[in-house]
Structure 1
Amino acid sequence: MSKRALAEIAKDMAGIDIAILSTHTESGEIANRPMSNNGDVTYDGTSYYFSYEQARAVSDIQRNPKVALGFSSEAGLLSKGTYVAVEGEAQLIRDKDAFKRHWTSDLDKWFDNGVDTAGIVLIKVTAKRVTYWKGSEVGEVEI
Protein backbone atom coordinates (compact mmCIF):
# COMPACT_ATOMS: atom_id res chain seq x y z
CA MET A 1 0.00 0.00 0.00
CA SER A 2 1.42 3.35 -0.99
CA LYS A 3 1.13 6.66 0.82
CA ARG A 4 0.39 9.90 -1.01
CA ALA A 5 -0.16 13.42 0.19
CA LEU A 6 -3.73 14.66 0.30
CA ALA A 7 -2.80 17.38 -2.21
CA GLU A 8 -1.86 14.68 -4.75
CA ILE A 9 -5.14 12.85 -4.26
CA ALA A 10 -7.00 16.17 -4.52
CA LYS A 11 -5.50 16.71 -8.00
CA ASP A 12 -6.88 13.34 -9.08
CA MET A 13 -10.26 14.25 -7.59
CA ALA A 14 -10.45 17.66 -9.30
CA GLY A 15 -13.74 17.96 -11.09
CA ILE A 16 -15.54 15.13 -9.27
CA ASP A 17 -18.78 16.77 -8.20
CA ILE A 18 -20.93 13.88 -6.99
CA ALA A 19 -20.14 11.90 -3.85
CA ILE A 20 -22.06 9.06 -2.27
CA LEU A 21 -22.75 9.98 1.37
CA SER A 22 -23.25 7.00 3.67
CA THR A 23 -24.85 7.36 7.10
CA HIS A 24 -26.08 5.01 9.83
CA THR A 25 -29.86 4.72 10.09
CA GLU A 26 -31.83 4.47 13.32
CA SER A 27 -31.91 0.67 12.98
CA GLY A 28 -28.15 0.50 12.36
CA GLU A 29 -28.36 -0.08 8.63
CA ILE A 30 -26.22 1.93 6.21
CA ALA A 31 -28.03 4.42 3.97
CA ASN A 32 -26.45 5.89 0.83
CA ARG A 33 -27.39 8.86 -1.27
CA PRO A 34 -25.70 10.97 -3.96
CA MET A 35 -24.71 14.47 -2.89
CA SER A 36 -23.30 17.31 -4.97
CA ASN A 37 -20.24 19.32 -3.97
CA ASN A 38 -22.04 22.23 -5.67
CA GLY A 39 -19.06 22.86 -7.90
CA ASP A 40 -16.74 23.26 -4.88
CA VAL A 41 -14.52 20.36 -5.91
CA THR A 42 -11.12 21.38 -4.56
CA TYR A 43 -10.66 18.70 -1.91
CA ASP A 44 -8.74 19.53 1.26
CA GLY A 45 -10.16 16.87 3.57
CA THR A 46 -13.40 18.75 4.19
CA SER A 47 -16.56 18.56 2.07
CA TYR A 48 -19.78 20.57 2.23
CA TYR A 49 -23.28 19.55 1.11
CA PHE A 50 -26.60 21.37 1.39
CA SER A 51 -29.72 19.49 2.45
CA TYR A 52 -33.10 20.04 4.02
CA GLU A 53 -33.53 19.68 7.79
CA GLN A 54 -36.17 16.96 7.35
CA ALA A 55 -33.91 14.74 5.17
CA ARG A 56 -33.04 11.34 6.56
CA ALA A 57 -29.33 12.11 6.17
CA VAL A 58 -29.71 14.94 8.69
CA SER A 59 -31.51 12.81 11.30
CA ASP A 60 -28.96 10.03 10.75
CA ILE A 61 -26.07 12.46 11.35
CA GLN A 62 -27.74 13.85 14.48
CA ARG A 63 -27.77 10.32 15.93
CA ASN A 64 -24.36 9.25 14.66
CA PRO A 65 -21.97 11.72 13.01
CA LYS A 66 -19.66 9.00 11.65
CA VAL A 67 -20.13 8.96 7.88
CA ALA A 68 -18.42 7.80 4.71
CA LEU A 69 -18.06 9.41 1.30
CA GLY A 70 -17.30 7.69 -2.00
CA PHE A 71 -15.93 9.50 -5.04
CA SER A 72 -15.21 8.09 -8.47
CA SER A 73 -14.00 9.58 -11.73
CA GLU A 74 -14.86 8.31 -15.17
CA ALA A 75 -12.92 5.24 -16.14
CA GLY A 76 -13.08 3.71 -19.55
CA LEU A 77 -11.48 0.61 -20.96
CA LEU A 78 -8.28 2.51 -21.79
CA SER A 79 -8.17 5.00 -18.91
CA LYS A 80 -7.47 4.74 -15.22
CA GLY A 81 -10.26 5.96 -13.02
CA THR A 82 -9.74 7.41 -9.59
CA TYR A 83 -11.73 6.00 -6.67
CA VAL A 84 -11.60 7.60 -3.24
CA ALA A 85 -13.24 6.42 0.00
CA VAL A 86 -13.43 8.84 2.92
CA GLU A 87 -14.23 7.94 6.51
CA GLY A 88 -15.12 11.01 8.49
CA GLU A 89 -17.29 12.88 10.88
CA ALA A 90 -20.22 15.07 9.89
CA GLN A 91 -21.32 18.30 11.48
CA LEU A 92 -24.60 20.08 10.81
CA ILE A 93 -24.25 23.82 10.25
CA ARG A 94 -27.21 26.18 10.43
CA ASP A 95 -25.33 29.47 10.08
CA LYS A 96 -26.39 31.70 7.19
CA ASP A 97 -22.88 33.18 6.84
CA ALA A 98 -21.52 29.66 6.30
CA PHE A 99 -24.28 29.07 3.73
CA LYS A 100 -23.13 32.16 1.83
CA ARG A 101 -19.49 31.02 1.80
CA HIS A 102 -20.43 27.70 0.17
CA TRP A 103 -23.35 28.80 -2.00
CA THR A 104 -23.25 28.61 -5.80
CA SER A 105 -25.94 29.66 -8.25
CA ASP A 106 -26.50 26.01 -9.24
CA LEU A 107 -28.13 25.49 -5.84
CA ASP A 108 -30.95 27.88 -6.75
CA LYS A 109 -32.75 25.09 -8.63
CA TRP A 110 -32.99 23.05 -5.40
CA PHE A 111 -33.49 25.83 -2.86
CA ASP A 112 -35.98 28.46 -4.11
CA ASN A 113 -34.99 31.28 -1.76
CA GLY A 114 -31.23 30.74 -1.79
CA VAL A 115 -29.59 30.94 1.63
CA ASP A 116 -32.92 32.25 2.99
CA THR A 117 -34.73 29.01 2.13
CA ALA A 118 -36.51 27.75 5.22
CA GLY A 119 -35.22 24.48 6.64
CA ILE A 120 -31.85 24.19 4.91
CA VAL A 121 -28.76 22.89 6.62
CA LEU A 122 -25.14 22.57 5.54
CA ILE A 123 -23.48 19.21 6.12
CA LYS A 124 -19.75 19.49 6.74
CA VAL A 125 -17.76 16.26 6.50
CA THR A 126 -14.25 16.25 7.94
CA ALA A 127 -12.11 13.32 6.79
CA LYS A 128 -10.42 11.09 9.35
CA ARG A 129 -9.09 8.56 6.82
CA VAL A 130 -8.85 8.61 3.02
CA THR A 131 -8.21 5.52 0.92
CA TYR A 132 -7.68 5.68 -2.84
CA TRP A 133 -7.36 3.44 -5.87
CA LYS A 134 -5.94 4.61 -9.19
CA GLY A 135 -5.22 1.86 -11.67
CA SER A 136 -3.08 -0.67 -9.82
CA GLU A 137 -2.04 1.87 -7.18
CA VAL A 138 -3.77 1.54 -3.82
CA GLY A 139 -3.04 3.68 -0.85
CA GLU A 140 -4.09 5.65 2.16
CA VAL A 141 -3.67 9.26 3.14
CA GLU A 142 -2.88 10.22 6.70
CA ILE A 143 -5.10 13.05 7.91
Structure 2
Amino acid sequence: MENTQNKAEGLKMLKEKIKDIKVAMLTSVNADGSLHTRPMQTQEMKDDRILWFFTGKNSEKIAEIKNDSHVSLGYADPGSNTYVAVCGRASLVTDQAKIDELWSEILKAWFPEGKTDPNIALLKVSIDSAEYWDSPSSNMVQLFGMAKAMVTGEPYKPGPGEHGKINA
Protein backbone atom coordinates (compact mmCIF):
# COMPACT_ATOMS: atom_id res chain seq x y z
CA MET A 1 0.00 0.00 0.00
CA GLU A 2 1.42 3.39 -0.92
CA ASN A 3 0.65 6.38 1.19
CA THR A 4 1.43 10.06 0.75
CA GLN A 5 1.23 12.22 3.87
CA ASN A 6 0.73 15.95 4.30
CA LYS A 7 3.88 17.70 5.52
CA ALA A 8 3.12 17.85 9.25
CA GLU A 9 1.88 14.25 9.41
CA GLY A 10 4.75 13.07 7.24
CA LEU A 11 7.44 14.70 9.36
CA LYS A 12 5.87 13.31 12.52
CA MET A 13 5.80 9.85 10.94
CA LEU A 14 9.41 10.17 9.74
CA LYS A 15 10.56 11.21 13.20
CA GLU A 16 8.72 8.24 14.73
CA LYS A 17 10.18 5.76 12.24
CA ILE A 18 13.83 6.78 12.73
CA LYS A 19 13.79 7.60 16.45
CA ASP A 20 15.14 4.17 17.44
CA ILE A 21 17.49 3.79 14.46
CA LYS A 22 20.57 5.60 15.68
CA VAL A 23 22.87 5.01 12.72
CA ALA A 24 22.16 6.20 9.20
CA MET A 25 24.21 5.56 6.08
CA LEU A 26 25.04 9.00 4.67
CA THR A 27 25.80 9.22 0.95
CA SER A 28 27.44 12.31 -0.51
CA VAL A 29 28.90 13.10 -3.92
CA ASN A 30 32.67 13.14 -4.57
CA ALA A 31 34.18 15.84 -6.79
CA ASP A 32 34.38 13.31 -9.65
CA GLY A 33 30.64 12.57 -9.36
CA SER A 34 31.04 9.18 -7.66
CA LEU A 35 29.12 8.42 -4.48
CA HIS A 36 30.68 8.02 -1.03
CA THR A 37 28.74 6.35 1.79
CA ARG A 38 29.57 6.11 5.47
CA PRO A 39 27.74 5.49 8.78
CA MET A 40 26.71 8.50 10.86
CA GLN A 41 24.95 8.62 14.22
CA THR A 42 21.86 10.79 14.21
CA GLN A 43 21.93 13.24 17.09
CA GLU A 44 18.57 14.92 16.70
CA MET A 45 15.51 15.46 14.53
CA LYS A 46 12.85 17.90 15.59
CA ASP A 47 9.80 19.12 13.70
CA ASP A 48 11.88 21.63 11.72
CA ARG A 49 12.96 19.22 8.90
CA ILE A 50 16.55 19.20 10.19
CA LEU A 51 18.71 16.18 11.06
CA TRP A 52 21.90 16.78 13.07
CA PHE A 53 25.16 14.78 13.10
CA PHE A 54 28.59 15.41 14.64
CA THR A 55 31.51 15.44 12.22
CA GLY A 56 35.08 16.60 11.91
CA LYS A 57 35.74 19.86 10.09
CA ASN A 58 38.53 18.18 8.15
CA SER A 59 36.56 15.08 7.08
CA GLU A 60 36.12 14.12 3.43
CA LYS A 61 32.37 14.61 3.65
CA ILE A 62 32.82 18.33 4.33
CA ALA A 63 34.78 18.82 1.09
CA GLU A 64 32.14 16.74 -0.71
CA ILE A 65 29.16 18.75 0.55
CA LYS A 66 30.91 22.04 -0.20
CA ASN A 67 31.14 20.81 -3.80
CA ASP A 68 27.59 19.36 -3.90
CA SER A 69 25.29 19.66 -0.89
CA HIS A 70 22.89 16.88 -1.99
CA VAL A 71 22.96 13.91 0.37
CA SER A 72 20.98 10.76 0.97
CA LEU A 73 20.48 9.01 4.30
CA GLY A 74 19.45 5.37 4.61
CA TYR A 75 17.94 4.07 7.85
CA ALA A 76 17.22 0.36 8.31
CA ASP A 77 15.73 -1.64 11.15
CA PRO A 78 15.41 -5.22 9.89
CA GLY A 79 14.06 -6.32 13.28
CA SER A 80 10.89 -4.28 12.79
CA ASN A 81 11.01 -4.39 8.97
CA THR A 82 11.25 -0.60 8.77
CA TYR A 83 13.34 1.10 6.09
CA VAL A 84 13.62 4.84 5.45
CA ALA A 85 15.40 6.85 2.75
CA VAL A 86 15.88 10.59 3.26
CA CYS A 87 17.07 13.10 0.64
CA GLY A 88 18.28 16.54 1.61
CA ARG A 89 20.96 19.17 1.53
CA ALA A 90 23.85 19.20 3.98
CA SER A 91 25.83 22.07 5.43
CA LEU A 92 28.59 22.53 7.98
CA VAL A 93 27.63 24.23 11.26
CA THR A 94 30.13 25.34 13.89
CA ASP A 95 27.68 27.02 16.30
CA GLN A 96 29.06 26.30 19.78
CA ALA A 97 25.64 26.62 21.42
CA LYS A 98 24.23 23.87 19.18
CA ILE A 99 27.32 21.72 19.75
CA ASP A 100 26.85 22.15 23.53
CA GLU A 101 23.15 21.27 23.22
CA LEU A 102 23.77 18.02 21.32
CA TRP A 103 27.00 16.96 23.06
CA SER A 104 27.29 13.67 24.95
CA GLU A 105 30.42 12.34 26.64
CA ILE A 106 30.63 9.29 24.34
CA LEU A 107 31.61 11.69 21.55
CA LYS A 108 35.01 12.08 23.23
CA ALA A 109 35.97 8.90 21.37
CA TRP A 110 36.00 11.00 18.18
CA PHE A 111 36.67 14.42 19.68
CA PRO A 112 39.19 13.86 22.53
CA GLU A 113 39.24 17.51 23.55
CA GLY A 114 35.50 17.48 24.16
CA LYS A 115 33.02 20.12 23.09
CA THR A 116 35.80 22.60 22.38
CA ASP A 117 37.83 20.27 20.16
CA PRO A 118 39.11 22.46 17.29
CA ASN A 119 37.99 19.81 14.75
CA ILE A 120 34.40 19.48 16.02
CA ALA A 121 31.49 20.54 13.85
CA LEU A 122 27.94 19.60 13.07
CA LEU A 123 26.50 18.35 9.83
CA LYS A 124 23.05 19.83 9.32
CA VAL A 125 20.82 18.01 6.83
CA SER A 126 17.74 19.91 5.69
CA ILE A 127 15.23 17.31 4.56
CA ASP A 128 13.74 17.70 1.08
CA SER A 129 11.87 14.39 0.91
CA ALA A 130 11.73 10.92 2.39
CA GLU A 131 10.29 7.50 1.68
CA TYR A 132 9.59 4.62 3.98
CA TRP A 133 8.79 0.94 3.70
CA ASP A 134 7.16 -1.05 6.49
CA SER A 135 6.17 -4.67 6.54
CA PRO A 136 3.81 -5.82 9.27
CA SER A 137 4.82 -9.46 8.70
CA SER A 138 7.30 -11.05 11.03
CA ASN A 139 10.64 -12.34 9.80
CA MET A 140 9.33 -15.91 10.15
CA VAL A 141 6.35 -15.15 7.89
CA GLN A 142 8.70 -13.59 5.33
CA LEU A 143 11.12 -16.53 5.49
CA PHE A 144 8.21 -18.94 5.01
CA GLY A 145 7.07 -16.94 1.96
CA MET A 146 10.59 -17.02 0.47
CA ALA A 147 10.92 -20.76 1.13
CA LYS A 148 7.52 -21.37 -0.47
CA ALA A 149 8.61 -19.38 -3.53
CA MET A 150 11.80 -21.44 -3.83
CA VAL A 151 9.88 -24.74 -3.60
CA THR A 152 7.08 -23.75 -5.98
CA GLY A 153 9.23 -21.80 -8.43
CA GLU A 154 6.84 -18.84 -8.13
CA PRO A 155 8.31 -15.38 -7.46
CA TYR A 156 8.29 -14.24 -3.83
CA LYS A 157 5.51 -11.78 -3.12
CA PRO A 158 5.86 -10.06 0.22
CA GLY A 159 2.71 -9.63 2.26
CA PRO A 160 0.91 -6.35 2.48
CA GLY A 161 3.15 -3.64 3.73
CA GLU A 162 3.20 0.09 3.65
CA HIS A 163 5.23 2.36 1.43
CA GLY A 164 4.92 6.09 1.61
CA LYS A 165 6.50 9.30 0.44
CA ILE A 166 7.02 12.24 2.74
CA ASN A 167 7.43 15.63 1.13
CA ALA A 168 9.00 18.15 3.44
TM-score range (shorter-chain normalised) is 0.7 to 0.9
Equivalent pair of 1:14/1:43 in contact (CA under 8 Å): no
Equivalent pair of 1:46/1:124 in contact (CA under 8 Å): yes
- Mapped to 1, the partners of 2:108 and 2:84 lie a distance apart of 28
SS in 2 for 1:139: strand
Q: Which amino acid aligns with 1:116?
A: T
Query: What's the offset of the Cα at 1:46?
Result: 1.6
Structure 1: any 5+ residue segments left out of the alignment?
none
Q: Which amino acid aligns with 2:100?
A: K
Instruction: Give deviations 1:51-84, integer Å, cap 9, x for gaps.
Output: 1122111110111111111111133xxxx41111
- Mapped to 2, the partners of 1:13 and 1:95 lie a distance apart of 25
Task: Please report the RMSD computed on the Cα atoms of aligned residues, expressed in angstroms.
Answer: 1.5
In the alignment, which residue of structure 2 is the partner of 1:63?
Answer: 67
Larger-gyration structure (1/2): 2
Structure with more helix by fraction: 2
Structure 2: any 5+ residue segments left out of the alignment?
136-160
- Mapped to 1, the partners of 2:132 and 2:46 lie a distance apart of 13
Equivalent pair of 2:72/2:88 in contact (CA under 8 Å): yes
Equivalent pair of 2:26/2:40 in contact (CA under 8 Å): yes
Q: Matched residue pairs, number?
A: 137
> What TM-score results when the alignment is normalised by the length of structure 2?
0.76
Task: Please point out which of 74, 79, 82 is paired with 2:78.
Answer: 74
In the alignment, which residue of structure 1 is the partner of 2:54?
Answer: 50
Identity of aligned residues (%): 26
Equivalent pair of 2:111/2:119 in contact (CA under 8 Å): no
After TM superposition, the structure 1 stretch with the greater mean CA deviation from structure 2, 120-129 or 102-111, is 102-111
In the alignment, which residue of structure 2 is the partner of 1:106?
Answer: 106
Query: What's the offset of the Cα at 1:113?
Result: 1.2
- Mapped to 2, the partners of 1:106 and 1:36 lie a distance apart of 12
SS in 1 for 2:118: coil
- Within the alignment, does 1:18 sit opposite 2:18 as a pair? no
